[in-house]
Structure 1
Amino acid sequence: MAIFVFLFKNQELRETDHIVSARKMLGEYLTSGKSFVAYRLPGDKQAYSFQVGKVQSFSVSEFTPEAFEDAFIIAPFKMSKSAFALWPVSGISRVEVESENFEREIREDKSFRLPQEREEIRQAYGQSFSVIREALNAHVVDKVVLARQLEVSEVPEHILPQVFSQLCRSYPNAFVYFFDHPLVGRWMGASPETFLEKENHQLKTVALAATRKSELHSEDWNMKELEEQGLVSVFVDEVLKKYGISTYQKNGPEPVRAGSMIHLKTSYEFEACKLEDAVGLFLQSLHPTPAVGGYPKDIAIRLIEEAEKFDRGFYSGFLGPVGKGDFRFFVNIRSMKLGENKAVLYLGGGITRDSKEANEWEETRLKARTLLSVLHSVKQNYSNESIHLR
């Protein structure tokens, strides 16, 4: 007989006689073709998974914690498209990621080097960058986050449970997730960025931007990096003011480590009662922040649609679990869409007037390392194969 305990503010946890490994449970889901959600919250030692039952599409503006209790929310980049709520069939299972037995222990390969990409991909990025640069020079916009795709071939389904588990171990302070359902597709990621969370009657959000290698001195932020992060903070301040929230705690900016990168982060916290029943509208106003969209927001989104030759889908949207009155949502970055024996990574960077194309290109490659280094390690563990880019 199952024992029920409380997980995330009364979210139902289904616990069996022993906690199974993430790779075993995820492997069973994939083999059986069942839809599922798995996630590991930042700082947790264990992950959680469930088989998907009820699914509902909805507008983000309609969100309230009470109406979506126990659901996992997945929202796209474009607010004109529907978000989805996925509920478990019968509770949530705790799964182990810290002490799994592999054929041999997987460690991050510090010597891993990202293979060079084809010249036509580099040229396509340059053309998109030029569209953004022209708008910046005309002073119609101050920042635009330009994203691109990177396709990795030969990513077989049977390695995916191990990839999820290794992401959990490699990035203990990230929100790691893996979901699969016909209505939303199959995605996996390890996000370092909180979007909005509610706990103990408090709401928290962050302004996270600017990227550099972790070995560089964090005190020496240049004007481009400071401006990029500052625009996100200005935007959050404006949204709070729009909703009449004048009293809040604001800390930062301060450097925070995310794997092999360092970002600048400003944290915000205020009382949830100040929004009353307007949480959904607040989410809609806050998303996307200039950390993944740009500033001013509406103009930046139009430029993104012009410059990028693909649909972001759920990349740079937000996602996460809802409990009893509480929720934890994260920005869907460091993410990949999984398909037939392949993975498509989404890589973005903030462009301002001080941006240099070569530097921004290299930043996207730095961000690719989060997922590619783990894919590389897991593939080597299985068959001594490396990653292959298309």
Structure 2
Amino acid sequence: RATDLHFASPVNAAAMMAASRRLNLNCYHFYMAFDGENAFLGSSPERLWRRRDKALRTEALAGTVANHPDDKQAQQLGEWLMADDKNQRENMLVVEDICQRLQADTQTLDVLPPQVLRLRKVQHLRRCIWTSLNKADDVICLHQLQPTAAVAGLPRDLARQFIARHEPFTREWYAGSAGYLSLQQSEFCVSLRSAKISGNVVRLYAGAGIVRGSDPEQEWQEIDNKA
């Protein structure tokens, strides 16, 4: 979903990024300024991959419930998330897709037990996936992991065609990837929980995964929580 907010004067993108860094912990923060009035920025909870030589770590971050400022209530919500069939299936769809796409270019794939990642407004199911690449090549990582099943759907080609026909806005940088690379190491995140600054207009991006068993009202509330 894209939501446009109009302000009386140009928005200070750097100040917005600084505020997001203070508020959104346990996230990857990215900021791209194209000129004095145009920028793309965000605070994403989702690692696309991290590589150290041939050692590769990625993850499936899918399945969401609200957070709560009270630790006990937040824990109860997290326990519900761990036990919920729909959210577990949503997460495992992403796990299976990642493993299938990486298997030809890696050694044994280790899928770690699920965890709950607690953020400021939501909590996510996360399964970390560890492996070793046959060769240290970030082109392989990018080609196989981007776009993720969580943002592009499955089966990927048909889902992307459906999105192109029916989604009422252009994603541009949203749901892409942001990070760094070098010969020895690299790390990228999925560019989620993001905003595009265009002068006095801020476009907020957020989304939710739809699978069998999804409730439209709950999915819309999830997007509200993320935005």
Category of TM-score, reference length = shorter chain: 0.7 to 0.9
Q: What does 1:104-143 align with in structure 2 at a 5 Å threshold?
A: none
| Equivalent residues of 1:209, 1:263 under 8 A apart | yes
What's the Cα RMSD here?
Answer: 1.9
Does 1:316 find its partner at 2:178? no
Secondary structure of 2:77 counterpart = coil
How far 1:211 moved relative to its partner?
1.1
Separation (CA, whole Å) in 2 of partners of 1:357 and 1:217: 20
Does 1:270 find its partner at 2:131? yes
Separation (CA, whole Å) in 2 of partners of 1:294 and 1:286: 13
Say which one has the larger Rg.
1
How far 1:158 moved relative to its partner?
5.5
| Equivalent residues of 1:189, 1:333 under 8 A apart | yes
| Equivalent residues of 2:57, 2:130 under 8 A apart | yes
In the alignment, which residue of structure 2 is the partner of 1:240?
A: 102
Separation (CA, whole Å) in 1 of partners of 2:8 and 2:114: 38
| Equivalent residues of 2:175, 2:191 under 8 A apart | yes
How far 1:332 moved relative to its partner?
0.2
How far 1:337 moved relative to its partner?
0.7
Separation (CA, whole Å) in 2 of partners of 1:336 and 1:158: 12
Aligned positions, number = 216
Deviations 1:247-304 (A, max 9, x none): 13321221111222110111112224x1344x31342122111121111211111111
Residue identity in the other structure for 1:205: T
How far 1:317 moved relative to its partner?
0.5
More helix by share: 2
Separation (CA, whole Å) in 2 of partners of 1:343 and 1:175: 20
| Equivalent residues of 1:288, 1:317 under 8 A apart | yes
The verdict on how the C-alpha distance between 1:351 and 1:366 changes in structure 2, with shifts beyond 3 A counting, is same
Secondary structure of 2:113 counterpart = strand
Residue identity in the other structure for 2:63: A
| Equivalent residues of 1:176, 1:190 under 8 A apart | yes
Separation (CA, whole Å) in 2 of partners of 1:275 and 1:320: 20
Q: What does 1:71-150 align with in structure 2 at a 5 Å threshold?
A: 148-150=1-3
In the alignment, which residue of structure 2 is the partner of 1:285?
A: 144
How far 1:199 moved relative to its partner?
2.1
Separation (CA, whole Å) in 2 of partners of 1:155 and 1:164: 19
| Equivalent residues of 2:11, 2:197 under 8 A apart | no
Separation (CA, whole Å) in 1 of partners of 2:199 and 2:18: 21
| Equivalent residues of 1:347, 1:367 under 8 A apart | yes
In the alignment, which residue of structure 2 is the partner of 1:249?
A: 110
Separation (CA, whole Å) in 2 of partners of 1:360 and 1:194: 22
Secondary structure of 1:280 counterpart = helix
Does 1:259 find its partner at 2:120? yes
| Equivalent residues of 2:110, 2:129 under 8 A apart | yes
How far 1:200 moved relative to its partner?
5.0
| Equivalent residues of 2:178, 2:188 under 8 A apart | yes
Separation (CA, whole Å) in 1 of partners of 2:143 and 2:98: 13
Identity within the alignment, %:
28
Separation (CA, whole Å) in 2 of partners of 1:200 and 1:246: 14
Q: 2:160 aligns with which of 301, 314, 337?
A: 301
The verdict on how the C-alpha distance between 1:162 and 1:284 changes in structure 2, with shifts beyond 3 A counting, is same
Does 1:196 find its partner at 2:49? yes
How far 1:162 moved relative to its partner?
2.2
Does 1:176 find its partner at 2:35? no
In the alignment, which residue of structure 2 is the partner of 1:220?
A: 80
Residue identity in the other structure for 1:169: R
The verdict on how the C-alpha distance between 1:156 and 1:266 changes in structure 2, with shifts beyond 3 A counting, is farther
Structure 1: segments with no counterpart, 5+ residues:
1-147, 369-390
In the alignment, which residue of structure 2 is the partner of 1:71?
A: none
Q: TM-score, normalised by structure 2?
A: 0.88
Bigger relative CO (Cα 8 Å, ≥ 6 apart): 2
Separation (CA, whole Å) in 1 of partners of 2:136 and 2:183: 16
Separation (CA, whole Å) in 2 of partners of 1:253 and 1:155: 45
Does 1:211 find its partner at 2:64? yes
Separation (CA, whole Å) in 1 of partners of 2:29 and 2:141: 25
Separation (CA, whole Å) in 2 of partners of 1:179 and 1:288: 20
| Equivalent residues of 2:47, 2:58 under 8 A apart | yes
How far 1:181 moved relative to its partner?
2.0
Secondary structure of 1:168 counterpart = helix
How far 1:152 moved relative to its partner?
1.0
Deviations 1:198-232 (A, max 9, x none): 12541111111011112352122322211111100
